[in-house]
Amino acid sequence: MLKKNINERGGQFFQTVVSAVFGVVIALCGCFSDDLRADDVLYVTKIKPLLTKYCYDCHSGDDPEGKLSLEKYSSAAVALKDQATWKKIHAHLKSRKMPPKDETRPTEPEYKQILDWIDASLFNIDCQGDRDPGHVTLRRLNKVEYNNTVRDLVGIDFRPGDDFPNDDVGYGFDNIGDVLTTSPLLMEKYMAAAEKIVQRAIVANPLGPTTRYQAEKFKATSGRRPFLKMQILFGNAEMQQQHDFKEDGEYIIAVRVFGQQAGKDLPRMSIRVDGKELAALDVSATGDQPRVLRIRRKIKRGKRKLGIAFINDFYQEGTKDRKQQDRNLMVEYFEVVGPLNPKSKELPEAHQKIVFASPLTTGETSEQCARRVLRPFAVRAFRRNVHPRELDRLISLVKLAEDQGDSFERGIQLAIKTILVSPRFLFRVERDQFPRDSRRPHKITEFELATRLSYFLWSTMPDDELLRLAREGALRKNLAKQVERMLADSRSDSLVSNFAGQWLEIRKLESVAPDAKQFPEFDDALREAMQKETELFFAAVLRENRSVLDFLNGKYTFLNERLARHYGIQLAKSKETDGNKFRRVSLTGTNRGGVLTQGSILTLTSNPTRTSPVKRGKWILEQVLGTPPPPPPPNVDPLAEDKKAVESASLRQRMEIHRKNAVCASCHEQMDAIGFAFENFDAIGRFRTMDGKFAVEANGQLPSGEKFKNAQEFSAILSKSKHELFVKCLTEKLLTYATGRGIEYYDKCTVDEIFERMKKNDYRFVTLIHEVVKSDPFQKRRARGPAP
Amino acid sequence: MSSDQRISRRTVLRGVGTALSLPLLDAMIPTPSLAAGAKPPAKPPVRMAFVFFPIGAYMPDWTPEKLGPDYALTPTLTELASIKKETLVLSGLAHDNARAKGDGAGDHARCSAAFLTGAHPRKTSGKDIHLGVSVDQLAAQKIGARTRFPSIELGCDPNRNVGNCDSGYSCAYSSNIAWRSPTTPVPKEVKPRAAFDRLFGSGNKDEIDKGTAKRDLYDQSILDLVSEDARRLQRRLGRTDKRKLEEYFSSVREIERRIAGAESVDIAGIQGTRPPGGIPRDFQEHARLMCDVLTLAFQTDMSRIGTFMLARAGNNRSYPQIGVRSGHHSQSHHRNETNKVADIQKIDRYHLAQFVYLVEKFKSVREGDGTLLDNSMLLYGSGIADGNRHSHHDLPTLLAGRGGGKIDTGRHVRYQRNTPLANLFLNMLDLAGASADSIGDSTGRLKQLTV
């Protein structure tokens, strides 16, 4: 009976399993085979023949070059199993390293075809499913972020980070987690900067110079002796201390005491200077809560004897209640504060804001005050809620300072210094929810989001509103509104100095050095004007929420008199008398438009003595179109530039001859054509029609066929038919800057999607920012490891 | 002489006045070492510094023909005239790991990356930076604890803060030559005054004296606290993030060590040598101020190991002051054209002149029976030999100083082609008392170096 049952059930179970497995197998085959079929067709009909033609000579047979045989990849399916090898193949083809240059090489379209196939099949990106947000490595605040954060946290803007070593750059930006390292030199500078900051922000002795005398240090004598960390005065006795009152003035004398109570009176303490009683105070405090008693008196300058005395000793033997037996005075310390600062000497604003409570003024214990003062500061510094235990650790430093005879405020200085060198301040900590499972992306917390947001848009810490929303868990819900608010705030100027400064590379202007003999008119005023023009232009596109295509051919710009003269543009008459002031200028009817014809870009892509069409072309391919040319192969003869050569033909003609070398031609054709479009602008961005004795020819043709006569027409082509490349390039740059990591193949979906949304919104800049903020790479993270 | 009779550095410096090159008194040798209770060595310590110049040199004007002590100075090496006897010209050394090895372009980034590591940099713009530990840092890790600063890093060019540095290599590779670990470069100080202040403080004696002990106690407590904090944090982070915090940890530890062994330094004596603020516009002035700081650091035994980057790899600075109006890098692809070669040769000599200045400076500091130079090893070199063709063999390499009397200087030595430059590093580590089994692609020690 029993056995039969089992058998029956077993049979059933087996059947279920079989059908389930079978079903899955069918399902898998179903979805796989479709993909594979498409892949295979392409692979077998297009890709494999190319590989056979160009690669098999070396990479086939029993002893293939580099032990790589391509023969074995009979189908796409087989190839797909070997991702690592194909990644290498991809890299070698992309850099045009293979096939070697002395062998027959694929044409450019053929190269592209193979690369596209590898891209599509191997890095098989499915934009439907869950998106991989990528892994962002722990980011240290860079120099700029540090300066800004200190400014907003402490309320003093003095750029303590300027002495730090420059941060290294990765992917074109200096806020990349993987590249930001920490060294003893930097740590030293963090310590020194933190000390400077607290010294500036907080006055260690806000009332006046403070000297503290620890009572336990007085040697025992009749009627008193050190006891634990105090002095116990068990008879009518006095502690005497010579003190130098530096000036005539007001002083506070404060004594931390308690009494051992007995008899009908409270213990009475006398405070004396040179034997003269200044005050006699009743001490009601008891051992469980000592108190600070203080008096404020005018005292004449000079070295004087300060005395703290117990004056109503009481002792009664044989009392039943032992507590009523003995009255004593216990003193922890006494201190002289003064001469007191005159009222007119206001404390710095930062001090008032940060140290809003102090035991000398509120009467609380220093621990209570410290907790009140440090909690809000730590929350803002760490950009999240703070655990009570973390606070305890910080408060321990206040205690340490007081034990050392320093003031409460000095203690706060130490605690804040600690915060400023803490890893939780210096690093933007984000937690992996699944540290062991890199395949599980998750949303970052609201606090983490607030931090990403503020460092993206402001290059500084989140403000109180962001932190409040994060605490309430309401930031994601109000994201769009917050982005708008943040963009309206002047802190978003950091997008100009940091993002634009690096994307357009105008930071480089600081160090460009056009040859002084050839360009005597290039000076610092012009250099700064050029930089300013591009910054103002970028800011206008951002602030006026204009189309990003304005970067390519916006017919307006911002000039001061110097730059207008440099450009040969007549400024309209205006009431403006300050020639240094920048004014918005229409460029309609001129030969300029967009950033590409601005002096800044034209200069920083030139050589010291002449223009460099190659550099200009390369710059546009990299920064504008996002299609960087492969690096040049080594051992190529460069352009002849001796006097004879220069006088023999124009730069363009000489470069055309030079380009006859087939290896160079493939890339230079495009790069140079683009660069030459700007030949009407010399190495410091002036318009010209002649280069030396040769007429400038700025006309050209792109590999895709479009023809242009000059920079204007070229820019028009860019914004008309290359705008997708440009918008995607800008998106990738902004995404890199926002997330602090390089763009990976899996970001393609995000970038494509942002492009579609941009398209629907006239490519407005603010749309781009909203979309980056909403995107998965910005909103989520995952642990380091294999992609999902 | 018993150790308590030694005059402290402090006393001496006060007496030094403003002159840089006054003798270190014998009684002061060895200067106080940090390792408590460590037995002072009987001889002055051996110091080592590495000076990097970018883009190699025009080798036909560099390499002498004859070997041995009687070689004739070549057009570029005429700069060595005053220090020929104290210098070794080493030919034939190579950095195989600066070669592409399948990574394509980027020889300049690899030039600086491989220079002191002998390692091949992983090609990346940011993610997974990986190289090797540099020879100076290897030495610093072994013997650096004997001085206040295990090593010092100096340079003339700030790290680039914009753009890409070289063909897909992160700027970390072209801006740094010192690497603490395969993933962590050591940044350099480029401001002369900051470099000086780091070693000697800003010079306010009152401030220094007042409450140093208390400040150290506070700093110690702060560092304890943040270390603990970092440890708590580290437990909750992933692998790469942990590595970032590890950098933080080791930096904190390094400063703790310094505080623990600190002795107050009074710079009254050398205050007059405090360099001006800012970065001088003139390259030579800048380079020489940095050389002065390096000399002072060794002279006062603040450190025994240093690196100095004259310029960033792939440097494209122009030098109108010596008549070179085009950028260094553009001219380096000279294709043997006379005018470009002439420019390169000018730059080669100009850079070399700065090194010669450093060597002469070392020579002018008396120490024991000899000079600071006798107890030092100053290497001058690049990770590229011929800038025109980006070759990495036959590197231009000079070694000045007798390394504590052991090095037989004043000769031209040629090694078998492609001998790793890293082999020389092993010899240098031996002489500095920091022997290692290997570094980078080293295959053994060089012969014909020592007496």
A137 touches chain B (CB under 8 A): yes
CB contact under 8 A, B105 and A634: yes
Q: What is the dihedral of CA A680, A683, A684, A686, to 10 degrees?
A: -20
B424, B100 in Cβ contact below 8 A? no
CB contact under 8 A, A178 and B252: no
Nearest CB neighbour to A507, from listed B102, B106, B162: B162
Give the residue among A497, A579, A580 at the shortest CA–CA distance from A539: A497
- Residue B11 in this model has a pLDDT that exceeds 50: no
CB contact under 8 A, A179 and B172: yes
A196 touches chain B (CB under 8 A): no
Alpha-carbon distance values, B119 to A368, B100, B115, B420 (Å): 56, 12, 8, 11
Q: Which residues from B are below 8 Å from A95, CB to CB?
A: 104-105
Q: Which residues from B are below 8 Å from A181, CB to CB?
A: 172, 183-185, 187, 244, 247
Chain A, window 516-535: residues with a beta carbon less than 8 angstroms from a chain B beta carbon: 516-518
Nearest CB neighbour to B222, from listed A92, A421, A431: A421
Q: Which two tokens stand for residue B180?
A: 């603490």
Q: Which residues from A are below 8 Å from B105, CB to CB?
A: 95, 630-634
**Which of B248, B250, B309, B324 to mutate to test binding with chain A, by most A CBs within 10 Å of its CB?**
B248
SS3 of residue A684 by DSSP: coil
pTM of the model: 0.80
Chain A, window 92-121: residues with a beta carbon less than 8 angstroms from a chain B beta carbon: 92, 95, 97
SS3 of residue A57 by DSSP: coil
Q: Which residue of A has its CA nearest to B222?
A: A418
End-to-end alpha carbon distance in chain B: 30
A507 touches chain B (CB under 8 A): yes
A20, A95 in Cβ contact below 8 A? no
Cα–Cα distance between A591 and B405 in angstroms, integer?
69
Cβ contacts below 8 Å, chain A against chain B, sum to 241
Distance to chain A for B123, nearest Cα, Å: 11
A11 touches chain B (CB under 8 A): no
The predicted model gives B272-297 an average pLDDT of 89
Distance to chain A for B411, nearest Cα, Å: 33
A695, exposed or middle or buried, with CB in 10 Å at 0-12, 13-18, 19+? exposed
> Could you tell me which residues come within 8 angstroms of residue A478 by beta carbon, excluding any fewer than 6 positions away?
A469
CB contact under 8 A, A176 and B126: yes
Cα–Cα distance between B107 and B110 in angstroms, integer?
5
pLDDT for the residue numbered A18: 38
End-to-end alpha carbon distance in chain A: 50
Q: Which residues from A are below 8 Å from B250, CB to CB?
A: 184
Q: Which helix (H) or strand (E) holds A658?
A: helix A651-658
Nearest CB neighbour to A607, from listed B184, B255, B326: B326
CB contact under 8 A, B187 and A418: no
Give the residue among A233, A460, A234, A400 at the shortest CA–CA distance from A332: A233
Q: Which residue of B has its CA nearest to A501?
A: B162
Q: Which residues from A are below 8 Å from B99, CB to CB?
A: none
A585 touches chain B (CB under 8 A): no
**Which of B55, B218, B328 to mutate to test binding with chain A, by most A CBs within 10 Å of its CB?**
B218
What are the per-10-residue average pLDDT scores of chain A (788 residues)?
41 40 36 48 84 87 79 79 75 74 82 83 70 90 96 93 89 91 92 94 88 89 90 94 93 91 91 94 88 89 95 83 83 90 78 89 84 97 95 94 85 97 96 86 96 98 97 96 96 95 93 90 95 97 96 95 94 78 93 96 93 93 85 59 68 74 70 91 95 88 85 92 92 96 87 94 96 96 80
Cα–Cα distance between A728 and A626 in angstroms, integer?
8
B417, B94 in Cβ contact below 8 A? yes
CB contact under 8 A, B238 and A432: yes
Q: Which two tokens stand for residue B205?
A: 């004696």
In terms of DSSP H, where are the helices of B53-99?
none
Give the residue among B54, B55, B71 at the shortest CA–CA distance from B63: B71
* Contacts of A285-291 spanning 24+ positions with Cβ under 8 A: A285/A257, A285/A258, A285/A259, A286/A258, A286/A259, A286/A260, A286/A261, A287/A258, A287/A260, A287/A330, A289/A258, A289/A365, A290/A256, A290/A257, A290/A258, A290/A330, A290/A332, A291/A256, A291/A257, A291/A258
Q: Which residue of B has its CA nearest to A630?
A: B167
Q: Which residue of B has its CA nearest to A163?
A: B194
- 3-class SS letters over A220-238: CECCEEEECCEEEECCCCE
pLDDT for the residue numbered A476: 97
pLDDT for the residue numbered A663: 63
CB contact under 8 A, B229 and A422: yes
Alpha-carbon distance values, A473 to A281, A379, A444 (Å): 53, 16, 12
Q: Which residue of A has its CA nearest to B281?
A: A511
Chain A, window 430-469: residues with a beta carbon less than 8 angstroms from a chain B beta carbon: 431-432, 435
Q: Which residue of A has its CA nearest to B330?
A: A607
> Could you tell me which residues come within 8 angstroms of residue A195 by beta carbon, excluding any fewer than 6 positions away?
A417
b/e string for A123-157 if b means 16 or more Cβ within 10 A? bebeeeeebbbbbbbbbbbbbbbbbbbbbbbbeee
A290 touches chain B (CB under 8 A): no
CB contact under 8 A, B228 and A393: yes
Report the half-sphere exposure of B285 (CA within 13 A, side-chain side). 10
**Strands across the sheet with B305-309, in order?**
B152-155, B305-309, B47-52, B376-381, B397-400, B87-94, B411-420
Q: Which residues from A are below 8 Å from B324, CB to CB?
A: none
Q: Which residue of A has its CA nearest to B190?
A: A165
- Indicate if ipTM > 0.90: no
Q: Which two tokens stand for residue A2?
A: 């029993």
pLDDT for the residue numbered A138: 92
The predicted model gives B384-397 an average pLDDT of 91
Q: Which residues from A are below 8 Å from B223, CB to CB?
A: 421
Distance to chain A for B311, nearest Cα, Å: 14
Q: Which residues from B are below 8 Å from A168, CB to CB?
A: 159-160, 170-172, 175-176, 185
**Which of A181, A402, A416, A497 to mutate to test binding with chain B, by most B CBs within 10 Å of its CB?**
A181
Chain A, window 315-354: residues with a beta carbon less than 8 angstroms from a chain B beta carbon: none
Q: Which residue of B has its CA nearest to A430?
A: B237
Instruction: For residue A298, list its beta bridge partners.
Output: A250
The predicted model gives B34-63 an average pLDDT of 80
Cα–Cα distance between B127 and A353 in angstroms, integer?
41
pLDDT for the residue numbered A23: 37
CB contact under 8 A, B127 and A178: yes
Q: Which residue of A has its CA nearest to B202?
A: A192
Distance to chain B for A758, nearest Cα, Å: 26
CB contact under 8 A, B126 and A170: yes
CB contact under 8 A, B189 and A185: yes
Q: What is the dihedral of CA B400, B401, B402, B404, to 10 degrees?
A: -140
CB contact under 8 A, B339 and A518: no
How many CB atoms within 10 Å of residue B331? 28
A430, A448 in Cβ contact below 8 A? yes
Q: Which residue of B has its CA nearest to A134?
A: B127
Q: Which helix (H) or strand (E) holds A708?
A: strand A707-708
According to DSSP, the β-strands at B47-52 and B376-381 are: parallel
For residues B418 and A672, the model is more confident at B418
Q: Which residues from B are below 8 Å from A390, CB to CB?
A: 229
Instruction: For residue B87, list its beta bridge partners.
Output: B400
What length is written for chain B? 451
Distance to chain B for A536, nearest Cα, Å: 19
b/e string for A504-519 if b means 16 or more Cβ within 10 A? bbbbbbeebbbbeeeb
Q: Which two tokens stand for residue A767?
A: 């749309």
Q: Which residue of B has its CA nearest to A609?
A: B326
